[in-house]
Amino acid sequence: MSASIEQILEETRHFLPSPEFSAKARVSSMEQYREMYEESINSPETFWAREASDLSWQQPWDSVLEWNVPNAEWFKGAKVNISENCLDRHLTNGRKDKVAIHWEGECGEKIALTYADLHREVCKFANVLTAQGVKAGDPVLLYLPMVPEAVISMLACARIGALHSVVFGGFSVDAIVDRLEDCGAKYVITADGGFRRGKAISLKDNVDAALERYPDVKCSFIVQRTESEVTMVEGRDVWWHELMADASAEHTPEGFDSEHPLFILYTSGSTGKPKGVLHTTGGYMIGTYTTCKYIFDMRDDDVYWCTADVGWITGHSYICYGPLLNGVTQVMYEGAPNYPDFGRFWKMVEDYKVSIFYTAPTAIRAFIKAGDDLPNAHDLSSLRLLGTVGEPINPEAWMWYHKVIGGERCPIVDTWWQTETGAIMISPLPGATPTMPGTATLPFFGVDAAILDEEGNECPPNAGGKLVVRKPWPSMLRGIYKNPERFQTAYWDDYPGIYTVGDGARKDDEGNTWIVGRLDDVLNVSGHRLGTAEIESALVAHDNIAEAAVVGKPHEIKGEAVVAFVVLKSPVNDEEYTHTLRKHVATLIGALARPDDLYIVTALPKTRSGKIMRRLLKELVSTGDITGNITTLEDPTVVEELKALVQV
Ligand code: WT7
């Protein structure tokens, strides 16, 4: 009883930025935030033109925004190169010899790349890509570990106008094939392998298996990282280091249209295959640049560290583009947070004197479990600002982050956004916004976020509804790659002219937005969206599985755990069989999607029209009971079998 009362008290507690922090911040009061926010909403053209003028454009725009629902064009008529803005611009503004990336391998190797070094490597690789036939507009699939070559590849693609499509290195063969088929890439950049918890994980083997099923790839560039044995396919596979050795470091960045496609990144949806979210150049550049400038308040003397993988949107916007556009020094780490133990991150914060640290609630929960001794053993006094992203942060985790990592001195920016939004949308501004554990607080500049009921009316304070964005913003997605219908139905059909996010939320009396979670069947495992449909398809792809249903259940560390129910074609008398089936999912999609629990059942709960009633399964795995309405069930007797099977 008393614990829940305490928790409620904590949630109403406000944390104000310290006067010292505010005094130095770009936005230092709520008054200033409101003034700027109003301008960004009422005169977006003026606001964004001013921000855009911080960066280099090879040719100016004719108009800041053309909006024909659902298609936005930002900075139309302008010519721009985002790689030039991330790199070349800093060669003449005093940052040439400043470290851009402090990279650390899992085994402790260190590489420091200055802006001049990074520029040279990107120019060379841009020349390599061009020499192998890659042209502007070509999609290139990247499947890489967290090595500098990942960022170099992305910037080199962008430099020549090719679209990168990064596939998370933890995904497996099927995921690569799906994405190759969907985007039609003819070029792949991968590595022999990567290190994870001290083990060399092969990446090239997965790519090789994928290319057997998708033979259209002309050239596969192989980074040498683990030096494990690989088979090079004559006429297709080329070593990165061999081509780079002879490549010229001279490269003039061509100006592309502001709306030239920059990248595709696949993300899960509740139905069907993952969606190829498309981002373009000029608007995305301004979105990532300004959010780093105002939300992380990046300064020349900052050392910034975002712990995400480049395979997710966070790695795109807040490792590759945003920090480099701001000319900051950042840390990039190859491996696992618990290698050799959960003190690794805190040791690195101390070693590099990290001042801005951006991670996910799932990681914070794992650190809490590992105990305070590990962070307490390190000097974390260099930290001045903390951030989180990926899912709602529970107040206990927020308080721990605040006290144990932030020393009660660092503001926390809880940043809400999505693959589709390209950049942070709802977040405190660290020198201005009073924060509260569990809310991402207020919209960023230009973001007209609202909560609507089914009829499209704005919900009153504290009433839950659907989170939407009513105005276009610079870094918004420009479509689903080659699939305009899906773009329309997934985001624009609920309310005319309004972007539907897919999250449930409410606003409190002060206007703070509290995210309740996803509205569809999509799971959020360790801060990553996983489609139930994709995991179910993987299960059904097994020879002996007839049907499958997947739901999430609350999990202390991961946020949600994957629970699968399967109907077998023929019974198997083997205690290890569920293990085999779980492993099958890991092999097909990746370890992240491996079901934590798997139940073999004789039938799934379905409606008369044949729809699986996942909400009943969800209730069962979280509470151990089914109390919800079962009147639409085709066969109510399955409920008893399920209840007997699942013990919580
Ligand atoms: C979904 C987007 C943005 C990069 C990581 C995930 C959830 C994200 C928060 C937050 C509450 C959050 C939402 C969103 N989410 N950040 N600060 N508070 N929920 O990107 O895979 O595109 O997933 O993650 O449900 O819609 P993504």
pLDDT tens, 309-333?
Answer: 999 999 999 999 999 999 999 999 9
Query: Mean pLDDT over residues 184-210, rounded?
Result: 96
Mean pLDDT: which of 100-114, 265-279, 359-373, 508-522 is highest? 100-114
| Domain assignment present for 28 | no
In percent, the amount of the chain with pLDDT more than 70 equals 98
Which residue ranges have their beta carbon within 6 Å of ligand 1? 267, 312-314, 389-392, 414-419, 440, 501-503, 515, 518, 524, 527-529
Please report where in the chains the tokens 């899906």 appear, as a residue.
Answer: 486
Looking at residue 7, what is its pLDDT? Answer: 36
Residue burial 272-295, b: 16+ Cβ < 10 Å; e: rest: ebbbbbbbbbbbbbbbbbbbbbbb
Q: What is the CATH number of the domain that holds 621?
A: 3.30.300.30
What pTM value is reported for the model? 0.91
Q: Are 308 and 314 in contact (CB under 8 A)?
A: yes
Cα-to-centroid distance, 415 and ligand 1 (Å): 8
Query: Mean pLDDT over residues 401-429, rounded?
Result: 98
Cα-to-centroid distance, 433 and ligand 1 (Å): 20
Q: Distance between CA atoms of 315 and 432, rounded to whole angstroms?
A: 26
| Domain assignment present for 546 | yes
The model's pLDDT over 435-445, given as tens digits with 9 standing for 90+, comes to: 999 999 999 99
List the one residue out of 385, 392, 397 whose CA is nearest residue 433.
Answer: 385
Q: Kindly give, in sequence order, each residue whose CB lies less than 8 Å from that of residue 541, ignoring residues fewer than 6 positions away.
A: 174, 588
Cα-to-centroid distance, 603 and ligand 1 (Å): 33
| Ligand 1: residue whose CA is nearest its atom 3 | 418
How many domains does the chain fold into? 1
| Domain assignment present for 635 | yes
| Ligand 1: residue whose CA is nearest its atom 13 | 391
Q: Distance between CA atoms of 632 and 184, rounded to whole angstroms?
A: 42
- At position 73, the amino acid (one-letter code) is E
Which three-class secondary structure string do you get for 258-290?
CCCEEEEEEECCCCCCCEEEEEECHHHHHHHHH
Which ligand 1 atom sits closest to the C-alpha of 420?
Answer: 22
Looking at residue 5, what is its pLDDT? Answer: 36
Cα-to-centroid distance, 416 and ligand 1 (Å): 6
Looking at residue 533, what is its pLDDT? Answer: 75
In percent, the amount of the chain with pLDDT more than 90 equals 83
- Cα 319 to the chain's mean position, in Å? 11
Run of H or E residues at 484 = helix 484-491
The model's pLDDT over 210-225, given as tens digits with 9 standing for 90+, comes to: 999 999 999 999 999 9
Instruction: Write the DSSP symbol of residue 493.
Output: S
| Ligand 1: residue whose CA is nearest its atom 12 | 391
Cα dist. 619→180, 521, 554, 563, 615 in Å?
Answer: 37, 13, 11, 12, 6
List the one residue out of 353, 338, 345, 351 whose CA is nearest residue 404.
Answer: 345
Structural domain boundaries, residue 607: 515-645
Tell me the H-state helices in 507-547.
532-540
**Average pLDDT of the chain, as a whole number:** 94
Cα-to-centroid distance, 308 and ligand 1 (Å): 13
Confidence class for position 176, pLDDT limits 50, 70, 90 = very high
**pLDDT over threshold 80, residue 618:** yes
Query: Mean pLDDT over residues 253-279, rounded?
Result: 90
| Ligand 1: residue whose CA is nearest its atom 6 | 390
Cα-to-centroid distance, 269 and ligand 1 (Å): 13
Which ligand 1 atom sits closest to the C-alpha of 417?
Answer: 3
Q: Kindly give, in sequence order, each residue whose CB lies less than 8 Å from that of residue 110, ignoring residues fewer than 6 positions away.
A: 102, 103, 104
Q: Are 504 and 467 in contact (CB under 8 A)?
A: yes
The sheet with strand 329-333 has its strands ordered as 110-114, 99-104, 329-333, 303-306, 356-359, 385-388, 412-414
Looking at residue 547, what is its pLDDT? Answer: 85
Query: Mean pLDDT over residues 336-361, rounded?
Result: 96
Cα-to-centroid distance, 267 and ligand 1 (Å): 11
Which ligand 1 atom sits closest to the C-alpha of 501?
Answer: 26
| Domain assignment present for 624 | yes
Looking at residue 96, what is its pLDDT? Answer: 98
| Ligand 1: residue whose CA is nearest its atom 1 | 418
**pLDDT over threshold 70, residue 9:** no
Determine how β-strand 303-306 pairs with β-strand 79-80.
unpaired
The model's pLDDT over 132-163, given as tens digits with 9 standing for 90+, comes to: 999 999 999 999 999 999 999 999 999 999 99
Pocket-testing residue among 277, 309, 418, 425, ligand 1, by greatest number of atoms within 8 A of Cβ: 418
Looking at residue 448, what is its pLDDT? Answer: 98
**Range with the poorest average pLDDT among 238-242, 576-580, 632-636:** 632-636
Strand partners, 517: 504
| Domain assignment present for 428 | no
Pocket-testing residue among 389, 451, 512, ligand 1, by greatest number of atoms within 8 A of Cβ: 389
**pLDDT over threshold 70, residue 6:** no
- Tokens at residue 453, please? 């009921």
Looking at residue 269, what is its pLDDT? Answer: 67
Q: Looking at beta carbons, which pairs linking 11-19 to residues 24 or more positions away fall under 8 Å?
A: 11/395, 11/436, 11/437, 11/438, 12/436, 13/436, 13/437, 14/434, 14/435, 14/436, 15/402, 15/411, 15/412, 15/434, 15/435, 15/436, 16/434, 17/411, 17/430, 17/431, 17/432, 17/433, 18/409
**pLDDT over threshold 70, residue 272:** no
- Tokens at residue 540, please? 């059904």
| Domain assignment present for 613 | yes
Pocket-testing residue among 439, 512, 524, 530, ligand 1, by greatest number of atoms within 8 A of Cβ: 524
| Domain assignment present for 560 | yes
**pLDDT over threshold 80, residue 540:** yes
Looking at residue 588, what is its pLDDT? Answer: 86
Angle at 588 between CA 583 and CA 593, to 5 degrees: 65
Angle at 612 between CA 608 and CA 616, to 5 degrees: 105
**pLDDT over threshold 60, residue 261:** yes
Looking at residue 400, what is its pLDDT? Answer: 95
**Range with the poorest average pLDDT among 148-162, 169-183, 209-223, 474-488:** 169-183
Confidence class for position 11, pLDDT limits 50, 70, 90 = low
Specify the higher pLDDT residue, 535 or 498: 498
| Domain assignment present for 127 | no
